[in-house]
Amino acid sequence: MTGPRRLGADTPEELGIVQAAVEYAYDQDWSDGLPVVPATRERTDAFLATTDRHPDEVIGRLEPLRREVTVETAAVNAVMAGCRPEYFPVVLAAWDALMLDPTTAVGAWQSTSGPAPLIVVNGPVRERLALNGGGGALGPGFRANATIARAIGLLVRNGLGVRPQVFEQATQGIPGRWGMCLAENEEESPWEPIAVDGGLAPGSDAVSAMLVRDTEFVDNRHTADPEKLLADLADTLGRTGALIFEHAAAGLVLCPEHAQLLARAGMAKEDVRRWLADHTRRSVADLRAVGKNGLTDLGGRGVRVDRPDEERSGEDRVFATDTAQHLPILVAGARNAGISSVVRLFTSWPRISARVESCPADVPVPLSLVDPEVEA
Amino acid sequence: MTLDHQALFGAFLSPHGRASGPQGHLVRAARLDGVAALAGARVGLLWNTKRNAELLLVELGRLLIEQYGAEVTARQAPYAHAVPLDGPDLHSLIDSCDLAVVGVGDCGSCAAAAINDGITLERHGIPAAVICSDAFDVTARATAEVQGDPDYPFLTTPHPIAVLAETQVVRRAEQLLPGVVARLIVQAEGAAS
């Protein structure tokens, strides 16, 4: 035999090695709670072969924690997350897109609000990687979706050292943190992909990423009136519990049925945004009732506080602008019901999408285990 | 087949990132010599944008003036709560004070930022009293370790702070004052820090 003998995990003894390897990773505190795939040199190199970027290129830095991560750090964590090598260019693009949000360099990962990346993929790469953008797009069940999002989470945890209850101080956390990666359903969207709002040409392989604090469903399947649908969306968008600052920002993940209904009424995404920015308001009386009628002026950002004696009246607009910075819109999900989602943004969307590097069609997938007796 | 698991799994690559630069040396600024030295000392206040942080620090400044004859010469303009002090802001503070009071570390990122700022000021010769809420004690201590000063002493005050009324914030300042003073001066042997 030339070269190391590959183990097929086909005997109880060899399966025991696999289980021990998983436990080893837990013992090192490398896991987000679920089993990880051990990152060997061989497998990590297969990931690095999908990119022209140098393994030592620094791709992220968290100065308050004195940590930085490289392309290779990302590859190791992507292996551990369960990615296939050909997913790696999307992992890198997702990371690049997140780094374009300035809050990720100073405090977003540590925040008590525990924001989660919502990673949106556009372009032909969606099909190449079997990324789901149809039924259950925000849910589980698809390897590329699940592992690309998880790779970002492991990179934050292991790479930057932001571990729960130490530097990560989420009060309650968010279901789906490190689990929200979806393809946009471009085929059933009446509009241009979100990456066009992010400055790229239609048809580009691209990733857009935003930090979100929740997803809230809007179930409206029995009206054909676009204004009634928009009013229903505006009600969720204007929820007082989500108001912290003078203005809020929120994205819409519209299902194909809702997007098409609005498009049939002649509305472009800009029209939808304009309508929602104009109509999403809360009365000062409502705000006073929940202790959010007052505004401080701290560092140029108005923070909502309780001012029981303030005599102001009228209405407050929820959105500062009607742009994609404060109201990004994408289309995802099945065309089987009128169910859309509001995603509450941590701050805003920088409106810059990241390109996905092209990668060879056939990347070899090496096995992770090598028999050390043979190799020695 | 008997395998040495440690030898086998030692081949797994570490997923950790690397240090972004050399760790600073453990440097603490010299404390003032006793409470009498506070008279005429220039105190810089560095507050973040968390609600009531400004009020608490301004009140502490007022007490240091009234009770110890200190001067409050720098009231740093509010800066983003999670961004460590650097550049011109840092140097203007260093140039205009002999001591500093920093706070309030009462969120995931601003607790880390407050500790970073305190240790940075110490390295520039400015003794600093850093105030964090007790809900962020672990983050604050972990930040001090990252910065190479694992035992860096900071003050804690009970969380929450943002919901306190003005009179309650004033009371907090009074409660914190002895600890703040103890952090800024050389203490008699055996005194609590």
Confidence at residue B25, expressed as pLDDT on a 0 to 100 scale: 80
CA closest to A166 among chain B residues: B139
Confidence of residue A362 (pLDDT cuts 50, 70, 90): low
A294-329 pLDDT tens trace? 988 655 568 898 998 888 899 999 999 999 999 999
Q: What is the pLDDT of residues A157-207, one digit of tens each?
A: 999 999 999 999 999 999 999 999 999 999 999 999 999 999 999 999 999
DSSP string, chain B: ----HHHHHTTSPP---EESSPPPP---PPPBSSGGGGTT-EEEEEEBSSTTHHHHHHHHHHHHHHHH--EEEEEPPPB-TTSPP-HHHHHHHHHH-SEEEEEEE-SHHHHHHHHHHHHHHHHTT--EEEEEEGGGHHHHHHHHHHTT-TT---EEEPSP-TT--HHHHHHHHHHHHHHHHHHHBPPPTT---
- Answer whether B13 sits within 8 Å of A40, measured CB to CB: yes
Residues of chain B contacting residue A70, judged by C-beta atoms under 8 Å apart = 17-18
Q: Closest Cα of chain B to A62: distance in Å?
A: 8
Mutation choice for A interface testing from B4, B5, B6, B13 by most A CBs within 10 A: B13
Note the pLDDT tens digit of each residue in B33-62: 889 999 999 999 998 888 899 999 999 999
Distance CA B147, CA B83 (A): 15
Angle (deg, nearest 10), helices A71-81 and A88-99: 120
Residue B12 resides in a domain: no
Question: Average of pLDDT values for A123-128?
Answer: 97
For the segment A93-99, the average pLDDT, to the nearest whole number, is: 98
Number of structural domains in chain B: 1
Cβ-nearest to B142 among A17, A155, A167: A167
Other beta carbons within 10 Å of A329? 21
* pLDDT band of A360, cuts 50, 70, 90: low
What confidence score (pLDDT) does residue A364 get? 57
Rounded to a whole number, what is the distance in Å from the CA of A32 to chain B's nearest CA? 12
Is residue B17 in some structural domain? no
Cross-chain Cβ contact A165/B108 below 8 Å: no
Give the model's pLDDT for residue A340. 98
**B3 lies in some domain:** no
Which of A70, A167, A292 to probe by mutation at the B interface, max B CB count within 10 Å?
A167
Return the pLDDT at A14: 77
State whether B80 and A299 contact (CB < 8 Å): yes
Chain A residues in contact with B19 by the CB 8 A cut-off are: 66-68
pLDDT band at residue A107 using 50, 70 and 90 as cut-offs: confident
Instruction: Work out the minimum CA distance from A259 to partner chain B, whole angstroms.
Output: 38
H, E, C per residue of chain A: CCCCCECCCCCHHHHHHHHHHHHHHHHCCCCCCCCCCCCCHHHHHHHHCCCCCCCCCEEEEEHHHCEEEEHHHHHHHHHHHCCCHHHHHHHHHHHHHHHCCHHHHCCHHHCCCCCEEEEEEECCHHHHCCCCCCCCCCCCCCHHHHHHHHHHHHHHHHHCCCCECCCECCCCCCCCCCCCEEECCHHHCCCCCHHHHCCCCCCCCEEEEEEEEEEEEEECCCCCCHHHHHHHHHHHHCCHHHCCECCECEEEEECHHHHHHHHHCCCCHHHHHHHHHHHCEEEHHHHHHCCCCEEEEECCEEEEECCCCCCCCCEEECECCCCCCCCCEEECCCCCCCEEEEEEECCCCCCCCEECCCCCCCCCCCCCCECHHHHC
Q: Are A205 and A124 in contact (CB under 8 A)?
A: yes
> Lowest-pLDDT range, A7-11, A218-222, A223-227, B152-156?
A7-11
Range of the domain at B74: 27-192
User: pLDDT-based confidence at A57, cuts 50/70/90?
Assistant: very high
With tokens 């997140």, the residue in question is A98
Residue A2 has pLDDT above 60, yes or no: no
Above 50 in pLDDT, residue A231?
yes
pLDDT at residue A96 greater than cutoff 60: yes
Low-confidence ranges of chain B (pLDDT < 50): 1, 190-193
Q: Kindly state whether residue B2 falls inside one of the protein's structural domains.
A: no
Quick check: A13 pLDDT over 80? no
Contact present, A171 and A114 (Cβ < 8 Å)? yes
- Binned at pLDDT 50, 70 and 90, residue A363 comes out as low
Select from B12, B15, B49 the Cβ nearest to the Cβ of A158. Answer: B15
**Partner-chain contact A67 B78, CB within 8 Å:** no
- In this prediction, residue A18 carries a pLDDT of 86
pLDDT of residue A359: 74
pLDDT of amino acid A323 = 97
List residues in chain B touching A: CB distance below 8 A.
Answer: 1, 3-5, 7-9, 11-21, 23, 49, 51, 78-84, 107-113, 116, 136, 138-139, 142-143, 146-147
A169: nearest CA partner in chain B: B108
Alpha-carbon span B192 to B23, nearest angstrom: 29
CA–CA min distance A314, chain B (Å): 25
Contact B142 A61 (CB under 8 A): no
Distance from CA of A63 to the nearest CA of B (A): 7
In a domain, B13, yes or no: no
- Residue A182 to chain B, least CA–CA distance (Å): 25
Query: Out of A142-156, A359-373, B82-96, which region has the weakest mean confidence (pLDDT)?
Result: A359-373
d(CA A319, CA A326): 7
Contact B8 A17 (CB under 8 A): yes
Q: What is the CATH number of the domain that holds B111?
A: 3.40.50
pLDDT computed for residue A17 by the predictor: 86
Lowest mean pLDDT among A65-69, A272-276, B47-51: B47-51
Asked if the structure places residue B180 within a domain, the reply is: yes
Q: What is the mean pLDDT of residues A342-349?
A: 97
ipTM above 0.95, yes or no: no
- Which pLDDT score, from 0 to 100, does residue A376 have? 32
pLDDT of residue A373: 42
Whether B5 maps to a domain, the answer reads no
